[in-house]
Amino acid sequence: MALALRCLRPLPSLLHRSSFALARGLPQAPRGCPAPLLEGCRQCAQQMLLSRQLATKKAKGKGQSQAKVNISAALVEDIINLEETSEDMQAVIEALKEDFSRNLNVRTSPGALDHITVVTKDGKFPLNQLGQISQKSPQLMIVNMTSFPESTAAAAKAIRDSGMNLNPEVDGTVIRVPVPKVTREHRESLAKLAKQSTNKSKEALRKVRSKSITQVKKFKNKVSEDTIWLLEKQIQQMADEAATEMDKLLAAKTKELLG
């Protein structure tokens, strides 16, 4: 019995130190928190601190990744809109998908010309708003510029500069667009364009990430370091996941183009 009592004596001081460590540096309770306390919402704070502990814990053994951070968007809505950040990143991914689908195909179709941007004296317009696009044969597409004859030369230049390996020929207000044969060189050229498009999309993704992190840092004097650290980690994690998805899209497109 005496031995048991001696073992229990250190518990109060240990519990006190544990409570102090948990309460130290806790973020303030977010707006709408159902259980605000003097030192902040204990439940929310414990969740955030636990997330940090998981994120910072180094995995044992080589090749193992760190645990993911998962912050409730509602918990930090007064600092940053994480859902909006996610939507912005997803928009970059969707734009890359659209670029792959519209501009990087082994066989060119009339629809591939629709959204080629034509620069005119009155502004920039999609090609399909200036001319009628049709396919005369598998080897020839026609762009009829009768409605906007003054933009014929600009349209031909836009087609030539589209990166689709097209060499248009102007005949009055008609633009003839020969469809190139599918050669190995053409396939490799398209694969390079896919890589370039992916790199541009990743640059756009980095801008979204940087903008979000800058927004978070504006609150560094208003919330705890734990909160700032976790948010930066969360945003970086979201960006990494988006970049990984882009790499998968590129791999699939490259396989499709090279055959």
163 with 122, same domain: the answer is yes
Domain end point (choices 178, 208, 237): 178
Domain end point (choices 178, 194, 216): 178
190 with 216, same domain: the answer is yes
- How far lies 91's CA from each of 78, 86, 101, 193, 204, in Å? 23, 9, 15, 20, 10
State the pTM of this model.
0.62
Q: Please indicate, yes or no, if residue 145 is contained in any of the structural domains.
A: yes
Rounded Cα gap, residues 232 and 13, in angstroms: 35
Whether residue 39 is predicted with pLDDT greater than 90 in this model: the reply is: no
Q: Please indicate, yes or no, if residue 25 is contained in any of the structural domains.
A: no
| Residue numbers of the domain that contains 96 | 73-104+183-258
Q: Please indicate, yes or no, if residue 67 is contained in any of the structural domains.
A: no
Q: 88-92, 193-197, 225-229: lowest mean pLDDT where?
A: 225-229
88 with 214, same domain: the answer is yes
Structural domains counted in the chain: 2
What's the pLDDT score for residue 78? 85
